[in-house]
Amino acid sequence: MPTIAILGTMDTKGAEHRFVAERIRERGHRTLVIDVGILGEPGLPPDIARREVAQAAEADLAALVAAQDRGAAVAAMARGAPVVLARLAAAGQIHGVISLGGGGGTAIATAAMRALPLGFPKLMVSTLASGNTAPYVDVKDIVMFPSIVDVAGLNRLSRVLFARAAGAICGMVEVQPPAVADKPIVVASQFGNTTPCVDRAHRLLEEAGYEVLVFHATGTGGRTLESLVEAGLVAGVLDLTTTEWADELVGGVLSAGPRRLEAAALRGVPAVVSTGCLDMVNFGPPETVPDKFRGRRFYPHNPQVTLMRTTPAENRELGVLLARKLNLSTGPVTVLLPLRGGSLIGAPGQAFHDAEADGALYAALKAELRPDIPVVEMDCAINDPRFADASAEALLAHLRAHGGPAQPSA
């Protein structure tokens, strides 16, 4: 019988969590209540008391209670709850987790949920679920369930929503994912403007016996790709769409942060890297583009996304940045350069085609790159089938040298 952890501030949200626990038990599941409250007595008796959570954070519970400092209490519990929850999950004592909360409860519970592996059922009922959830979800598969009303008592609306949330976590725990073939994993980066290339390379790698996980290069996608490589789950990296570096450098909305491209390099994972969509920086609707970019070249990708063409100067900086990251490589890496454009709209005749800017990118990258890292220059655009084929074959050559599948799978 599965056990579902119910984690929350039982001093202020005890009745709400009790209601959810009752619905879960009605479905035949066990519950394990974890109290992360500080300010008052728990309204729902916990199985794991706040003292144990505080100890996991190396915090003094008595001092926290005496201080009555809500911010300090939230910070301490947000450190301890991940330790407690990860330990329970690793021991097989829990099979899912649910929490209900406002700002503080959401910060604590999602910090704990982020410590759990991908695929582990995690559901957060939150007053913040309809806003910017990126700080709470980050690169994990946390389901954010809008509470609509505040988590402040039971009423005709909250009872319906909390019951549905209890049913959702039960369903997540009850469903067993289908068994899949245990193939080595390749991760790939993709944008809409590099989809034809990555789709073709994806098929070739799958035919060669690999499972390919494709990540949308939206900041979160790049960070997720990096996290899987860091976790040692990945055999190879097809990083053809490094566009997130343009947003990191210029100030767009889809940056993956300053460590993008480091994981494969530092772990020695075989990689093929290209410059896909470094010809663009991402913003929201046109009115959200900062005034300092007035007069630049723009392209309306859709009503919610405005693309801005990178300049030759920015491309030179990007070439240096990419080279410095690739120079960290301790394993095999090959760089492929599409000389006729790095995106659908960067190809000849398209809105962002700029041979001078592309040339600045390639020249800077080659000048800064370690001489032992191979660079393959191809007289085609990135979405030309020849480029996709060359990218896949370059990665397969590295993988074969590292003991990967040598023949296409049946």
Helix axes 103-113, 70-90, angle to 10 degrees: 30
Predicted confidence at residue 70, as pLDDT, reads 84
First to last CA, the chain: 38
Contacts of 65 (CB under 8 A, 6+ apart): 38
Location of structure tokens 């910070």: 75
Domain ranges of the chain: 3-174, 185-401
Give 5's strand partners.
Answer: 32, 97
Q: Which of 342, 354, 349, 353 is nearest to 243 (CA)?
A: 342
Token pair of 202 as six digits: 């994806």
Helix axes 312-326, 355-368, angle to 10 degrees: 30
Location of structure tokens 């009115």: 287
Choosing among 3.20.20.70, 3.40.50.12030, 3.40.640.10, 3.40.30.10, the CATH entry for 185-401 is 3.40.50.12030
> DSSP string spanning 228-242?
HHHTT--SEEEE---
Predicted confidence at residue 3, as pLDDT, reads 98
- How many helices and strands (H and E) does the chain possess? 14, 14
- Strand residues in 106-184 grouped as ranges (E): 122-126, 143-146
From residue 53, give the alpha-carbon distance in Å to each of 59, 104, 112: 9, 15, 11
Provide the whole-model pTM. Answer: 0.82
Hey, do 3-174 and 185-401 end up sharing a CATH topology, with the first three levels equal? yes
Annotation: CATH topology of 3-174: Rossmann fold (3.40.50)
Cα 14 from chain centroid? 32
Token pair of 169 as six digits: 């976590």
- Bridge pairing between strands 333-338 and 375-378: parallel
Contact 325, 333 (CB under 8 A): no
| Each residue's pLDDT tens digit, 317-345 | 999 999 999 999 999 999 999 999 999 99
- Cα–Cα distance between 13 and 332 in angstroms, integer? 53
Predicted confidence at residue 404, as pLDDT, reads 65
Q: Which of 373, 385, 363 is nearest to 330 (CA)?
A: 373
From residue 7, give the alpha-carbon distance in Å to each of 103, 248, 325, 326: 14, 36, 40, 42
Tell me the backbone φ, ψ of residue 264, rounded to 5 degrees. Answer: -65, -40
Consecutive 10-residue averages of pLDDT for the chain (410 residues):
96 96 97 93 95 94 85 93 98 98 95 95 96 91 95 94 98 88 93 97 97 96 95 95 98 97 97 98 96 96 95 98 98 98 97 97 98 98 98 97 60
For 362, the 3-state DSSP assignment is helix
